[in-house]
Amino acid sequence: MLTLGCARNEVDSEELAGRLTDGGWNLVDADSGAADVIVVNTCGFVESAKKDSVDTLLAAHDVAETSGAKVVAVGCMAQRYGSELAESLPEADAVLGFDHYPNLGERLDDVVAGRTVASHQPTDRRTLLPISPVQRPAAAEQVAVPGHGWGPRVLRTRLDDSPVASLKIASGCDRRCSFCAIPSFRGSFVSRHPDEIVAEAAWLAQHGARELFLVSENSTSYGKDLPREVGGPDALDKLLPRLAAVDGVLRVRVSYLQPAETRPGLVRTIATTDGVADYFDLSFQHSSERVLRRMRRFGSTDSFLELTKQIRALAPEAGIRTNVIVGFPGETDADLDELRRFLTGARLDAVGVFGYSDEDGTEAETLDGKLDPEVITERVAEIGGLVEELTSQRAEDRIGQEVAVLVETVDGGELAGRAAHQAPEVDGECVIVDGDGLAVGDMVRAKVEASEGVDLVVRPLEVLR
């Protein structure tokens, strides 16, 4: 099984692996040559991700020509394009959507036996559930939603031995950002029941997870569609302490918070709850009011700066990260100045800078005021350079401080891990010096001695847990 894309896709792959092993299939190493089927969990978010997915499918086909294996595409790109992808990419023996997931083992049986499996027929998944969130729980039982509806069992197989594991708390999104196609193929927002999430957290801890990375398309909406006794606007506030109390879990981290939905109570819970990383992954995207409105989003430079101020009033060393899009249709020099003002004032720990590109079927694809690609490239380079300077300064500010580091890799004499302000893969890491005796999964109190870009060099003081 090969996985592309985000942490949500990684969770989906582990669910599929669990369903397949439960159905009698065995996972083998991708390079072993022993596979009957190569399953590629694709990403369909942006053009570069789609290209990576196609390249991986073609590479899998090359391997399959030698070994005789079949190639099956699943995941977001398969869900989004379905039969269209199958027609343009005959190298894939089957293109299966989310509706195939509950019976994936049987469909792979068909593929191996040479029986034709009809390709997924795409539909707008927002139409599959009621518009009203509170009416969705019952209806969701009739719709295949990855990561939902397992019941008391945990149908999941870990695909690595990392001490960090992603844990899905919800799927889909009700927002209508003009540049984003995700809701159309991931569907409307659906929360998982908190008891189900806690049970999976305990299972992950039993299988080596020490940090839980909570993922969804929009974590700040969690609970809005659940019954009142377990849901409501403070459902995530209540869930976080329960997860932090799970035996074996050392740290819980929340991803993807919408700034417009980030309430003071949630800020306080994340900033002050023992065992919850004081880490805020806030999807700002831009800070110019004019650009944000064209994006169908809310906020402004001043309101976003006020939010960061609230966070640091409770947790001065809290980690704050975001992504921004530059070159959005109609973006002016004045809009870019607003973004510079925000980035300079916010003192963020990590920022992803992306140039705008049209996405199939989105409102932004039809907007006027499109910028030349050369202009977008220049703006990405300019804002990227500013971000690199600012985030490096923020890392330098941490020199002399103490941080709690989860040890994630021990390679010979080289050790590395992450502090509370560093999420997996995107926010840098801590290089640990003089860490003899430490093991993967240890949480250590360490002193920051130097910085290299957003990375920190730390010296351990004691093992905490």
Binding residues for [4Fe-4S] cluster: 6, 43, 76, 173, 177, 180
Residue positions forming the annotated binding site: 6, 43, 76, 173, 177, 180
Q: How many CB atoms lie within 10 A of CB 387?
A: 19
Rounded to the nearest 5°, which phi and psi values hold at 118?
Answer: -60, 135
- Apex CA 5: angle with CA 348 and CA 109, to 5°? 160
- The Cα-based distances of 325 to 180, 291, 336 in angstroms read 12, 10, 10
Q: What is the Cβ-side half-sphere exposure of residue 444, based on CA atoms within 13 angstroms?
A: 28
Dist. CA 263–CA 265, nearest whole Å: 5
Dist. CA 212–CA 247, nearest whole Å: 12
* Residues listed for the chain: 465
Inter-residue contact 78 to 93 (CB < 8 Å): no
Q: What is the DSSP letter of 131?
A: S
DSSP 350-419: EEEEEE----TT-GGGG-S-PPPHHHHHHHHHHHHHHHHHHHHHHHHHTTT-EEEEEEEEEETTEEEEE-
